[in-house]
Amino acid sequence: GEEGAGSGHDRPGTGELRMGGGPLRCWVVTGTPARVLQGWTALTGAPALPPSWALGPQHARWGFGSEHEVRRIVAGYRERDLPLSALHLDIDHYERHQVFTVDRERFPDLPGLAKDLRTDGVRLVSIVDPAVRADPGNAVYASGAAADAFVRDARGRPVRGVVWPGECVFPDFTAPRVREWWGALYEERLAQGFSGVWHDMNEPASFAPFGDPTLPRSSRHDLEGRGGDHREAHNVYALAMARAGYEGLRKLRPDERPFLFSRSGWAGMQRYGGTWSGDVTTGWPGLRASLSLVLGLGLCGVPYSGPDVGGFNGRPSPELYLRWFQLGAYLPLFRTHSAIWAGRREPWEFGPRVLEHARAALVERERLRPYFMTLAQLARLTGAPYVRPLWWGSSADRALRDCEDAFLLGDALLVAPVFERGGDRRAVRLPRGRWYDTATGQTHEGPGQVLLDAPLSRIPVLARAGSVIPVRGADGGLELEVWAPAAGRTGGGVVVRDAGDGWEKAEVERFTTKLVKGRVVVEQVVDGDAGPPRYPVRVRGIEGGRQS
């Protein structure tokens, strides 16, 4: 039957849950937002830790037509001094859109391409759809049919639908043996040189002239051996697919952290990777919705997510593209993407002024990469999202709870995107404490509302007084950016250095800050003892940057 939930907006203080059948089990977690997320993580699993490169800028498009075009795009980034960590290939790199294949005419040497790009610091990421073309000549179909891997109807016949490759069948990921079979297929993707995957069309989607655009509700699933129909399996289908992919990649490359994100998911999706907005509509409302999506997913236990920067299905104006790009630079998954008919998304396609400002956003993202890595490690340890609502530390503040157009990045930064055409100033509501404008150094006191400049070149970003932010220094090494605490107040922060893209246990390093006779004192705390920090320190927010 149909399921649904309501937050009780028409009846304050109430909620409503509707379900058509099956057991209902409830857990109630109370406390601060941080405690609630920690409890939710204990129930549904700790977030997967992305490899460090997946926290850098990524670029995608449905419509990269050939190996030559991919090389041209990456060269364009490098020639313009634009950082790039990964490039994504969509369904058009497949042979007739069939999963786990390659169009040899357009991509004659995909492993060689991947090797060359990796030498240049760029990883390849592959789309993976669950639908398998029902063709005996298709090796994946033949293998799955032999393994009895596909969803069946009540009469025992494989359920068929129509997706990009044509008539397709669908793996039953709710069966452990099918997950193992599917996970082993990722060996082909690794052999082609891909470093990660993004799961698409995995609700699962099926093009249908009538009815639900998915599998029939009567479709039969294994459901871990107890059996059931698609009404029960639908919500967990993408979650089970993610598990198959993640476990397969771990088995194939045990020394590397898998990179996987998905269009669909369910409670616990964070165990295997992240998610993204899907085909968000190009436009100012789509830009605003992008932030709501990331905030909401973070509060649902999925800390790694992001939108299609620029929107998926339309041609953004240069201003809209830039404002979206500036927001994306502060979100966990920072990826441009678009449909084949929706124009290009390379920064240089929008004119020299946009290119200049986009470069600044990319450079700042790279400078903040150690901070993002720290937030990723903390998310795994505590469940706390990278992107947090302004009320994260003040959940009783109704004014902050009503503010949905700005966010906290960790504890240290407050980001205020621009969501309106022509906007060059915007009001920002501040949580309690002193905040510094990172562009001008101007101080603001919270709680309260302030009006900040937001020229086209940047969006307002504020730093919390007393915070310690790990950043990439001019020499490429780790540096501590310290924002002076207010008089009579202390501060601090943590740094979690990533030992690489493997499974080495990371060390959590703690730092404290205080203001003593006009000097900022920064100390590293180890086993209860305070001493000088092991990293270079740059103090901001105080004249001369005095530090001891």
Same domain, 328 and 194: yes
Q: What is the pLDDT of residue 545?
A: 46
DSSP character string of 197-214: EEE-STTT--B-SSS-SS
CA 411, 34, 466 angle in degrees (round to 5)? 20
* Final residue belonging to a domain, choices 350, 371, 392: 371
pLDDT tier for residue 374 given thresholds of 50, 70 and 90: very high
Residue 308 lies in a domain: yes
**Of the listed ranges 120-134, 175-189, 241-255, 490-504, the one predicted with least confidence:** 490-504
pLDDT, mean of residues 499-515: 92
Q: What is the C-alpha separation between 255 and 502, in angstroms, rounded?
A: 5
Q: What is the pLDDT of residue 498?
A: 85
**Residues noted as catalytic:** 200, 203, 279
Same domain, 358 and 482: no
Check whether 7 has a pLDDT greater than 50.
Answer: no
* Final residue belonging to a domain, choices 371, 388, 419: 371
Check whether 224 has a pLDDT greater than 90.
Answer: yes
Same domain, 480 and 337: no
Q: What is the pLDDT of residue 8?
A: 44
Check whether 541 has a pLDDT greater than 70.
Answer: yes
φ, ψ of residue 309 to 5 degrees: the values are -65, 125
Residue 87 lies in a domain: yes
Q: Which among 284, 328, 330 has a CA at the least distance from the CA of 308?
A: 328
Same domain, 186 and 323: yes
Please give the share of the chain, as a percent, with pLDDT higher than 90: 90
Same domain, 113 and 240: yes
Residue 110 makes CB contacts below 8 A (sequence gap 6+) with 67, 93, 102, 192, 193
What is the pTM (predicted TM-score) of this model?
Answer: 0.95
Query: What does the block give as tokens for 116?
Result: 């060359």
Count of domains observed in the chain: 2
φ, ψ of residue 254 to 5 degrees: the values are -65, -20
Q: What is the pLDDT of residue 22?
A: 67
**Of the listed ranges 206-210, 281-285, 419-423, the one predicted with least confidence:** 206-210
Cβ–Cβ under 8 Å, residues 286 and 327:
no
- What would the pLDDT profile of 339-367 be if each residue is shown by its tens digit? 999 999 999 999 999 999 999 999 999 99
Q: What is the C-alpha separation between 394 and 429, in angstroms, rounded?
A: 13
Residue 262 lies in a domain: yes
Same domain, 317 and 204: yes
Check whether 11 has a pLDDT greater than 70.
Answer: no
Q: What is the pLDDT of residue 23?
A: 74
Residue 73 lies in a domain: yes
* Final residue belonging to a domain, choices 371, 388, 415: 371
Residue 190 lies in a domain: yes
Domain that holds residue 289: 61-127+180-208+236-371
Q: What is the C-alpha separation between 55 and 46, in angstroms, rounded?
A: 18
User: CATH no. for residue 83?
Assistant: 3.20.20.80
Q: What is the pLDDT of residue 5?
A: 45
Q: Which among 176, 70, 72, 76 has a CA at the least distance from the CA of 123?
A: 70
Q: What is the pLDDT of residue 183?
A: 99
Residue 201 lies in a domain: yes
* Cis amide prior to 447 (ω within 30 degrees): yes
Same domain, 326 and 202: yes
- What would the pLDDT profile of 98-122 be if each residue is shown by its tens digit? 999 999 999 999 999 999 999 999 9
Residue 14 lies in a domain: no
Residue 261 lies in a domain: yes
Same domain, 473 and 354: no
Q: What is the pLDDT of residue 20?
A: 64
Q: What is the pLDDT of residue 547?
A: 55
